[in-house]
A and B are shown apart, each in its own frame.
Chain A
Amino acid sequence: MDAVDFLDLEPLLTEEEKMIRDTCRRFVGDRVMPGIEKWFEAAEFPVEVATELGSLGLLGMHLSGYGCAGTNAVSYGLACLELEAGDAGFRSFVSVQGSLAMWPIWKYGSEEQKQEWLPRMAAGEAIGCFGLTEPDFGSDPAGMRTSAKKNGSDWVLNGNKLWITNGGIADVAIVWARTDEGVRGFLVPRNTKGFTTRDIHRKLSLRASVTSELILDNCRLPADAVLPGVTGMKGPLSCLSEARFGIVWGVMGSARACYECALEYSKTRIAFDKPIGSFQLTQEKLVNMMLEINKGLLLALHLGRKKDDGNLAPQQVSFGKLNNVREALAIAREARTILGANGVTLEYPVIRHANNLESVLTYEGTSEIHTLILGQAITGLNAFA
């Protein structure tokens, strides 16, 4: 029996999906693993990797045209999984670039906006970020204060966005702001007057990822900076549904890395003259991890096939995000106990994944918010407020 792919899910993937996954796994082994401890410790994202991710085809891989690879959703999920088995910081970079920055341009942008940004973003030559959350509005982004007002044919933006992944390294920010017609998305290029960013330091989670504040101070944009294709909260929320789909898969990568590490450790670490893997308590932990990883992957694959068939509901993505992040975090914490004291050092990947998953639990809709979404879906009653 395969200790990881216990249910033999491999035959459920196409040749192409396997090849994409294997290529991504190899890239992670070559380019992420050798540096990740250093980057995590130094709290930096190696920006130079962006073009490598681009030439591999990872950025906006599930979009078609404009230099994008045009893969299916399952392939995108598998790539997220392999990246996050390296580090959630890399997966976050790719999620934000592909699903939160490129996707809205691809979906709601004008032809000129697509031509201007998508090919360079697919190549990793231009980096994007997604500014929705504000200092006072996270779970209820509809309350946002950032505003865009018409001035002649221009737009003038004012407000602050906080906790923005890739903010400080972005060449273009997708900023969501309230207008007289409702919430709209704006493309804000880096050197626009009145637009600055400030990186957030001293994060103890997702350290190999840049998180920043965006400051819009009478930031003047031309009329064609607005995304023409969408008005209202549906805009940002549809982006989040895209990115969350990748998280459903990604976190199973963190979980797998922790499980593999703990399994190996349990066979070699001796206590009371025996490998600790021979104790029933350790076996129970390992078996529970293995069960949840296999179940989580089945769930991810099911959602992926539905997405490719075009009949995946956002509430089903919430189901996946809630379940798989919860289980991945439990697996990371349990794996840490198996490693004993070694579990708290960066010599092993487990505490890094466990810490990263705390961010993943919160961003893209907290576990509480996804619980309420599901609660509303089954009762028909709104418990948000």
Chain B
Amino acid sequence: MNIVVCVKHIPDPNIPGELEGGRLKRSGVQGVLDPGDEFGVETGLQLKEAHGGEVTLVSMGPPTAMEAIRRGLSMGADKGLLVSDDALQGACALVTARVLAAAIKKSGPFDLVIAGVESTDGYTGTMPSTLAELLDVPQVTFVKRLDSADGTIRADRQTAEGYQVVESPLPALITVTAGVNSPRYASFKGIMAAKKKPVDNLSIGDLGLSSEEVTSMQQIASVGSAEARKAGEVIEDDGTGAQRVAEFLKEAKVI
């Protein structure tokens, strides 16, 4: 089973982010493999362990994004592919999907593409669905449990109410939630081996994409701080407490 896992290098989410011209400041900031993508890498590795094949990591980002690929390789992935190009600075989700689709096609035939539900910096959550369309494969999003056999996958798909059980033929694309598994540590042996694993560096030219195709369609109109959270309401029980809690829940449309 040949598996492609999309990985993103993001500013360390444990350090408060700074803005730079309306965008998240990225250069000179401590970066990490998006914690959400670790679940994708783990999913890929488990499938490989069960069915054989290869796990390829694909990323778009500045040269420093190699760090995210190295981390995934240390966890056990087989090879990496990084698309870096000055023209891609500030790329929107659509451009990212185009670039990743071109890179995945170039890397050879695949059975499954895995991505996180959304990145831990941009949070748009639109890239994976766009990518599935561009690759012309079915998509199963919000996967919280996954089985695979004989050219199909069967997934528990998280919904607001519960979960759906969805089957799909391969090749396909899935996005995995944080509950799907617990990502392994990169072992020291894995870290030592990672530097010997093959990694391709590609530019837009290598992918045959035109400059229109990589021009961001999206513009940032304005950036503001989220509204500060208000203190909660404390209900003191004077005999009517239960009723007021019930009213509150009704108002919130919980009951």
User: Contact residues of A with B, CB < 8 Å?
Assistant: 15-16, 19-20, 23, 26-27, 55-58, 61, 69-71, 75, 79
Contact = CB atoms under 8 A, between A and B. Distances in A.
Max count, chain A CB within 10 A of own CB: residue among B74, B186, B188:
B188
Contact of B192 (A27, A55, A56, A71): A71
B190 to A, nearest CB: 8
A15 B70 CA distance: 9
A23 B191 contact: yes
A19 B71 contact: yes
Chief secondary structure at chain A's binding surface: helix
Interface in B174-206: 185-192, 195
A16 B185 contact: no
Given A23-B187, A23-B188, A69-B189, 11 more contacts: A16-B192, A23-B186, A55-B187, A56-B187, A57-B187, A57-B189, A61-B188, A69-B188, A69-B191, A69-B192, A71-B188
Contacts of B70: 15, 19
Kindly list the 5 A-B residue pairs having the minimum CB-CB distance in the complex, ordered from nearest: A57-B188, A69-B188, A57-B187, A69-B189, A57-B189
A264 B185 CA distance: 29
A71 B70 CA distance: 16
A274 B195 CA distance: 51
A65 to B, nearest CB: 11
B213 interface: no
A16 B187 contact: no
A76 B186 CA distance: 16
A19 B70 CA distance: 9
A75 B192 CA distance: 11
B67 interface: yes
A54 B16 CA distance: 34
Contacts of B190: 57
B67 A20 contact: no
A296 B71 CA distance: 29
A362 B140 CA distance: 60
Nearest to A16: B191
Contacts of A16: 191-192, 195
Contacts of B186: 19, 23
A19 B191 contact: yes
